[in-house]
Amino acid sequence: MRAFVLCAGRGERLRPLTEHVPKPLLPILGRPLLFLLVEFLVAQGFRTIGLNAWYLKDQIRRRVKELRRAYPEVEFHLYEEPQLLGTCGALRHAASFFTEPTLVLNGDILTNFPLRLIYEEALRQRALCLMFCHRFPGLNRLRIRNGYVTDFTEDSPEGYAYTGIQVVSPEWISLLPPERELVPAYRQLIARGHLPRALVAAGFYWIDIGTPENYRRARLDLRSGKAVLPLALA
């Protein structure tokens, strides 16, 4: 199984914490978040892992070397961007990596949901794209109908939140329009009749550490036992 971790962003909302450290390398219980994500992926059976890098990419490059030593059974691919390309730009830039369905996740999230289940559901549905969604107040901007994502709008109690985790196929990568970010690109695809499938779940831990408040909350949740490190559910 293949996975791709998005690691290139500046982490603007986390400044000054990200002035000298890229967001995926911020420590969670003394370890870089990226290391926790990779550990979880490996425990779930992923053996080919791609990453992108732009902001402070020397640090990402150095850490990938450490990961290669720590997991010799895993094949790592690093795609350094000439400029910050955005989510969809990053996927197009690394198009050669997507030779089969691939789990894609943002490098700033912490969750204990078994990622393998998302991947297997995408295969079962033969989905060109499967977006993993849940309810999260303030972020419920997706509209879902009959198992498909139909729109991206304002936060609403009737909406769903995208977790930053999806499975994409080579065919989906080839369909991506020349947009940088996910929402405008996926809106165009939806308008053309290419609707992402949606997998909705509840009752699991998830947090985006992209703000100082959420970063503090994630560390407190782990220390207090409210959240369980991902590997514990592998």
Query: What CATH number corresponds to the domain at position 141?
Result: 3.90.550.10
State the residue range of the domain holding 129: 2-226
**pLDDT for res 174:** 97
In a domain, 231, yes or no: no
Identify the DSSP state of 15: T
pTM attached to this predicted model: 0.93
The CA distance from 40 to 231, in Å, is 5
pLDDT in tens, 51-83: 999 999 999 999 999 999 999 999 999 999 999
CA dihedral in degrees (21, 25, 31, 35; nearest 10)? -160
pLDDT in tens, 97-131: 999 999 999 999 999 899 999 999 999 999 999 99
**pLDDT for res 234:** 34
**pLDDT for res 232:** 40
Average predicted confidence (pLDDT) for the chain: 93
- The one-letter code for the residue type at 72 is P
In a domain, 232, yes or no: no
Q: Number of folded domains in the chain?
A: 1
In a domain, 234, yes or no: no
Strand partners, 160: 142
